[in-house]
């Protein structure tokens, strides 16, 4: 197995372990619930990307590759929800807010699996060289949706950071800095480079989600009080 695929597999396993660990701390706690869902989708992202890179059938490979985009939608949505509750709730999530989050999400997820998203998908015999043709308008809408969700989440966390004191300030600082690196690198390797026709580094994006997990691991096990 190529080292890149092995890294993807390990990343997926670590993300899944984190998801299970966090939910085992109590799913009724919204922080645990949404972070667990967030890491579950980072796990799906790694897994679907891994499968799309190793599976011989192009038909199945394109399905799994489309699923990486679906996983990224899950990551953005649950990061947004998580940002509303971590480390404490700052907004009542009304029906209108839920509607404005979930309606575009459902539409985008459906469109991901249609010709509106990927028009053509080819790989070389050794499966390493990819050539994917996107329907550009949808790709732009997808990118906008993703960045709006992620930036909203960042704004929530920055707002809380500015208002917070002692333990909350430290927690948000640690989490925010790690998640910023994860999203900048993840988006660069798996969204922006792909848009410009380079798939060489798509195995790198999921790796950066481990920084996000690392920050939570630090808060739980290594923060000063322990």
Partner 1 sequence: MAKKKKKIFLLLAGGTCLTDKEGRIFSVQSAQDIGHWLKQMPELEILSNLQPLFISGEDELVTAAVWEKMVQAITDNFMEADGFVIVSKIDNLLYTGAALSFLLQNFQKTVILTSSQISGTSFVDKKAVIEELRNKQGGLGLRANIINALQIADRPLPSPAIMFGQRLISAIKALPDQQNQLNLLASADGNYWGKVDFGVNLKSGLYFSPHQPDIYKKIKADIFILEDWPGTPWMLTKDNLVKYHGLFIKASPYQPLEKTKQGQIAKWKLPTVIYNRQSVRPIKGAVAISGCTPYVALTKTMWALANAGELADFTSIMQRNLIGEFNN
Cα 144 vs. chain centroid, distance in angstroms? 15
Instruction: Find out whether 35 and 15 touch, Cβ atoms under 8 Å.
Output: no
Question: With CB under 8 A as the contact rule, which of the stretches 47-55, 64-72, 160-168, 198-206 interacts with partner 1?
Answer: 160-168
By CB under 8 A, tell whether 216 contacts partner 1.
yes
Q: What is the largest CA-CA distance in the chain?
A: 56
Which of 183, 213, 222 lies closest to 14, judged by CA? 213
- Residue 16 or 116 having the CB closest to partner 1: 16
By CB under 8 A, tell whether 27 contacts partner 1.
no
Instruction: Find out whether 74 and 44 touch, Cβ atoms under 8 Å.
Output: yes
By CB under 8 A, tell whether 163 contacts partner 1.
yes
By CB under 8 A, tell whether 143 contacts partner 1.
no
Residue from 4, 19, 32, 83 touching partner 1 (CB under 8 A): that is: 32
Cα 93 vs. chain centroid, distance in angstroms? 21
Beta strand extents in 129-214 (DSSP E only): 130-134
Question: With CB under 8 A as the contact rule, which of the stretches 68-76, 184-192, 205-213, 214-222 interacts with partner 1?
Answer: 214-222
Binding site for partner 1 (CB under 8 A): 22, 25-26, 29, 31-32, 35, 86-92, 94-95, 163-169, 171, 216, 219-220, 223-225
């Amino acid at each position: 197995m190529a080292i890149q695929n092995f890294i993807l597999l390990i990343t997926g396993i670590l993300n899944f372990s984190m998801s299970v660990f966090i939910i085992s701390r109590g799913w009724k706690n919204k922080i645990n619930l949404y972070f667990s869902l967030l890491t579950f989708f980072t796990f799906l992202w790694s897994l679907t990307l891994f499968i799309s890179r190793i599976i011989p059938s192009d038909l199945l490979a394109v399905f799994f590759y489309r699923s990486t985009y679906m996983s990224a939608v899950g990551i953005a949505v649950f990061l947004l929800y998580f940002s509303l509750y971590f480390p404490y709730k700052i907004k009542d999530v009304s029906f209108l807010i839920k509607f404005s989050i979930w309606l575009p999400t459902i539409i985008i997820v459906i469109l991901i699996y249609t010709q509106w998203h990927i028009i053509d998908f080819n790989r070389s015999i050794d499966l390493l060289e990819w050539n994917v043709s996107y329907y550009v308008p949808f790709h732009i809408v997808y990118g906008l949706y993703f960045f709006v969700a992620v930036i909203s989440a960042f704004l929530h966390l920055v707002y809380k950071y500015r208002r917070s004191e002692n333990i909350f300030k430290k927690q948000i600082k640690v989490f925010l800095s790690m998640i910023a690196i994860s999203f900048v690198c993840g988006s660069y390797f798996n969204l922006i480079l792909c848009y410009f026709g380079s798939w060489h580094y798509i195995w790198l994006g999921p790796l950066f989600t481990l920084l996000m997990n690392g920050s939570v691991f630090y808060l739980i096990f290594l923060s000063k009080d322990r």
